[in-house]
Amino acid sequence: MSAASLEIVDRWFAVEPVDERITRIIEPHVHEFVRGNIWQVRGSARDLVIDCGLGVAPLRDECPALFANDPVLVVTHAHLDHMGGAHEFDDRRAHAAEPMGDPRGASIRGAVLRDELGLDEELPDLLITARPAGFDPDAYRLRPAPATTRLVDGDAVDLGDRCLRVLHLPGHTPGSICLFDEASGTLFSGDVIYDDVLLDGLHESDRDDYATSLQRLRDLPVRVVHPGHGDSFDGVRLRELIDDYLAAA
């Protein structure tokens, strides 16, 4: 498929309020495999942005509210659908094991990405169904954006009136993390867990680590999960997903 055959759209992002403090931003013209969630959590002192999409279009142009309150960006892992817009943020945080300065898997051509990441499943030729004006899919590159702060397990992200704890949960990638708001039981899970088949067979995945991470997650008092892909779900569904994975491991 060529870029010339794609519809040109004026807006690339869709903004969906979740509650008075949380907003989800998605890229609706992206294939569901790489259609990641961008989460904004508003705080009294500053805001938190969790993951930042593919980088096909600038977030700052369409979503200026993301940058209005001194945002800290936390990247759950350095795959293209989670760190593509990281270069737009001044305060970028990720685990040291994630190659933010030399990211892998930097194509939106399905066959190329499949080989780069070590995927088993087939993907369409092109992973977008429309494009912003002037965007060339074959010129797409994932821009390096080294973390300005390297996170470790137990670190806190303080927003003033809300504090989230970093959980290092390797398996999907070596440096995959979640953020847990213990006061509300809210988990931002990245690709550690979501309501679909979990990817544990990538070049950099480790199934034993994944099982250990999920067992740890199962024991936490999680009430709601805001994942890296798809819709949110509750703690009951979280434990069902974990139990199903562990039973099949």
Q: What residues does each domain of the chain span?
A: 3-248
Cβ-contact 150, 94 below 8 angstroms:
yes
Per-residue pLDDT of 98-108, as tens digits, reads 999 998 768 99
The class of domain 3-248 in CATH terms is alpha beta
Give me the pLDDT at residue 105, please. 64
In angstroms, how far is the first alpha carbon of the chain from the final one?
38
Give me the pLDDT at residue 45, please. 98
Average pLDDT, the chain: 96
Per-residue pLDDT of 46-78, as tens digits, reads 999 999 999 999 999 999 999 999 999 999 999
Cβ-contact 92, 75 below 8 angstroms:
yes
Give residues with Cβ within 8 angstroms of 212, minimum separation 6.
171
Give the Cα separation of 145 and 83 in Å (integer).
8
Give the Cα separation of 52 and 184 in Å (integer).
24
Percent of residues, the chain, with pLDDT higher than 90: 93
Those residues of the chain that have pLDDT short of 50 are none
Give me the pLDDT at residue 1, please. 56
Question: Which one-letter DSSP state was computed for residue 64?
Answer: G
Q: pTM higher than 0.85, yes or no?
A: yes
